Structure 1
Amino acid sequence: MINIVGGSGFIGTRLSQLLQQRQLPFRIIDKRRSDDFPDQTVIADVRVPEQLMQAVDPGATLINLAAEHRDDVRPISLYYDVNVQGAVNLCAAAEAKGVRKLLFTSSVAVYGFAPVGTDESGLIQPFNDYGKSKAQAEEVLRQWQARAPAERSLVIVRPTVVFGERNRGNVYNLLRQVARGRFMMVGAGTNRKSMAYVENVASFLIHTQNLPAGVHVYNYIDKPDFSMNELVSTIDAALGQPGRSRPRLPYAAGLLMGTLLDVVARISGRSFPISAIRVKKFCSDSSYSTAVGQTGFHAPVPLGDALSRTIRHEFVEQHTDRPLFYSE
């Protein structure tokens, strides 16, 4: 049995679809019922140890997707309550239920503003509370594995930004702005971005279940990396609008705008689509290397096809009856 903790969300729903297609038994453990798989959902909050203890199946393979991940989470302590203490609680349930395989979706955010080409051996130096909490959760899980190193398999997957159909995160916001003709490039646009398609990430999680005892760490990226200029051009081409010209905003001006809106947000309690951290993330290089290929895994959907699928689903076809997933 596979238990998907936090499985009602974006990655968990696609993972559940793939498991169902492959006729692999699974159960979702989440604080809310899955819209797509309500009958396979057990309600439990990772912050409540007693609920997890009852929900986890004996000897199950645990896939931990539960996380607080948005940039604007308040209070800040939620990152640590869910991501870190949730990992502590999950490890306790794993100990009690004889779990020997645990997969954890961490994040490349643990590297902070990493040098281009950072691989799995990169320095852990997160710059925000999300990245810090993910790094701390990784250490909690390593301690669980170290208590029975010859028996337990821990797989830590650090995806870059994950996109796909029905997701309302940063990639969707970019796609929508480009599609509506409202996109303005901030900075030179030469910074490179690693990306990951949700179906490929889910497929890799299934692939790693057969890894032996030990600790296995993988960045997850779908290559090739695009510069922001190349990415926008690719989106334009998929929309049938190649060669569009757009205004540009210098980086300093964009950062100033984000900082001012942060002040307004703190005073008013409102959220804005632009913030200083989002401008920094948009204009930074986030290009990583990965050892995924060494496992024999081949992504089922090439990155260009994944972008085309997402654009077609969101801006060409009609899918108004499907629930959406909101993330960064």
Structure 2
Amino acid sequence: MSKLILVTGGAGYVGSHCVLEFLNKEYNVIVIDNLVNSTIINGNGLPESLIRVQHLTGKKLKQFIDGDLRDSELLDSIFSNNNIDVVIHFAGLKAVGESIAKPLLYYDNNITGTINLLKSMEKFKVNKLVFSSSSTVYGEPEELPITEHFPTGQNCTNPYGRTKYMLEEIMKDLCVASPDWSIMSLRYFNPVGAHFSADIGEQPNGEPKNLMPYITQVAVGVRKELKVFGNDYKTSDGTCIRDYLHIEDLAVGHLKAIDKIYNNNFPGFHAINLGTGRGYTVLEVIQAFKMATGVKIAYKIVDRRPGDACAVYADARLAHEVIGWKATRGLQDMCSSAWKWQQKNPNGYRSKVK
């Protein structure tokens, strides 16, 4: 019998790409999402991202629930009515700048919602969880590349990163108190790009808060120019360095994580970096986009953005050793797939599928 997976935040950018992989793997999938970063068209019951996922896979979700993890009664009803095997937890607000401006919103949404989820899991004896964490738990690293043994929490530069750090600490404590729990925290670096079909991709609501969707919106003419936040960092060209990871590689990482915690005796809390192990400056990404697409990006240097670290990139060897995962796609693939998505969907999920 196929495993039943509950996916929180499954209609979002990362969630939808992972749901596609889960359905292709013949898993039964329930998605709960509060639609904070999703699009519903013409009163359809499903977010457009998941409609397209079903079309691409030829498979249906077991259930979609429009709901918020802060609703503990709703969560209890989901677990009481379904024999869930594994939970994949994406749901959470994730913009660094917004978290600095609205810290209470981030602490309430990310921490309260996750605690409610863990309580329901404990109540109904579901003890396998893959958690969507972030490289922001490392803050401003003292050396590079970043391994999983680096301290977390001490140098976090923003409330978003602190919510991920705090949740990891809660999960560690839970695993100590209850040895039956198996939790894998996947610390993403910077997911970019889109599915090869270009039918699903990243659609930020309002002004993009991440680099690649901003670049593609400038390229397609939605925005005039890209803002580059600071050119006085201690890097080769003065702009920030990040480890960019293709979204399809990231989705495969979740499949590997599920296999590890479900099919193996793998109790306890385990943190795994998902990155390429290579960092690029903002200006290098702009140049790579031009090389991949032929489109020159207009940009303007502006002041540094609060909460940004200078350079962050992964040592991803543990992912290969523990779950057999390694990134296979390079920056050119990331740029070209993101551009293909943007061209095919100039209005995001409100564009008609061609």
Offset, 1:177? 3.6
User: Partners of 2:31 and 2:168 in 1: how far apart?
Assistant: 21
User: Partners of 1:216 and 1:309 in 2: how far apart?
Assistant: 31
Offset, 1:9? 1.2
User: Partners of 1:200 and 1:192 in 2: how far apart?
Assistant: 20
Contact kept, 8 Å, 1:29 with 1:55, in 2: the verdict is no
State how 1:199-278 maps to structure 2 within 5 Å: 199-211=248-260, 212-240=266-294, 249=301, 254-255=302-303, 276-277=305-306
Offset, 1:158? 1.0
Per the alignment, do residues 233 and 53 of structure 1 end up closer, same or farther by CA in structure 2, a change over 3 Å counting?
Answer: same
Q: Name which of 131, 144, 154 aligns with 1:104.
A: 131
User: Partners of 2:75 and 2:342 in 1: how far apart?
Assistant: 36
Alignment partner, residue 268 of structure 1: none
> What number of residue pairs does the alignment pair up?
294
User: Partners of 2:189 and 2:34 in 1: how far apart?
Assistant: 25
Alignment partner, residue 310 of structure 1: 338
User: Partners of 2:314 and 2:269 in 1: how far apart?
Assistant: 20
Which whole-Å deviations, capped at 9, do the CAs of 1:276-316 have from their partners, x for residues lacking one?
327x45xx21222222121211335444312211122214x
User: Partners of 1:109 and 1:245 in 2: how far apart?
Assistant: 27
Offset, 1:226? 1.9
User: Partners of 1:247 and 1:96 in 2: how far apart?
Assistant: 52
Per the alignment, do residues 174 and 123 of structure 1 end up closer, same or farther by CA in structure 2, a change over 3 Å counting?
Answer: farther
Offset, 1:152? 2.0
Which whole-Å deviations, capped at 9, do the CAs of 1:222-275 have from their partners, x for residues lacking one?
34322333222211111225xx697874xxxx32xx6xxxxxxxxxxxxxxxxx
Offset, 1:321? 6.8
Alignment partner, residue 9 of structure 1: 12
Q: Name which of 169, 172, 183 aligns with 2:213.
A: 172
CA RMSD between the two structures = 2.7
Moved more, 201-210 or 302-311: 302-311
State how 1:1-328 maps to structure 2 within 5 Å: 1-32=4-35, 34-37=47-50, 40-56=63-79, 57-70=82-95, 71-73=97-99, 75-115=102-142, 116-124=144-152, 125=154, 126-149=156-179, 151-165=180-194, 166-167=201-202, 168=204, 169=208, 170=210, 171-177=212-218, 182-183=225-226, 186-187=230-231, 188-189=237-238, 191-211=240-260, 212-240=266-294, 249=301, 254-255=302-303, 276-277=305-306, 280=308, 284-290=310-316, 291-294=318-321, 295-299=323-327, 301-315=329-343, 317-318=344-345, 320=347, 322-323=349-350
SS in 1 for 2:349: coil
Per the alignment, do residues 129 and 144 of structure 1 end up closer, same or farther by CA in structure 2, a change over 3 Å counting?
Answer: same
Contact kept, 8 Å, 2:241 with 2:280, in 1: the verdict is yes
Contact kept, 8 Å, 2:130 with 2:186, in 1: the verdict is yes
User: Partners of 2:9 and 2:327 in 1: how far apart?
Assistant: 23
TM-score computed with the length of structure 1 as normaliser: 0.80
User: Partners of 1:238 and 1:320 in 2: how far apart?
Assistant: 22
Contact kept, 8 Å, 1:2 with 1:25, in 2: the verdict is yes
**Percent identity between the two aligned chains:** 20
Which whole-Å deviations, capped at 9, do the CAs of 1:139-168 have from their partners, x for residues lacking one?
22222222322x221000111122223313
Segments of 5+ residues of structure 2 without an aligned counterpart are 36-45, 52-60, 195-200, 232-236, 261-265
Offset, 1:63? 0.7
Contact kept, 8 Å, 2:187 with 2:273, in 1: the verdict is yes
Per the alignment, do residues 95 and 234 of structure 1 end up closer, same or farther by CA in structure 2, a change over 3 Å counting?
Answer: same
User: Partners of 2:191 and 2:297 in 1: how far apart?
Assistant: 27
TM-score computed with the length of structure 2 as normaliser: 0.74
Per the alignment, do residues 118 and 107 of structure 1 end up closer, same or farther by CA in structure 2, a change over 3 Å counting?
Answer: same
Segments of 5+ residues of structure 1 without an aligned counterpart are 259-275
Per the alignment, do residues 148 and 310 of structure 1 end up closer, same or farther by CA in structure 2, a change over 3 Å counting?
Answer: same
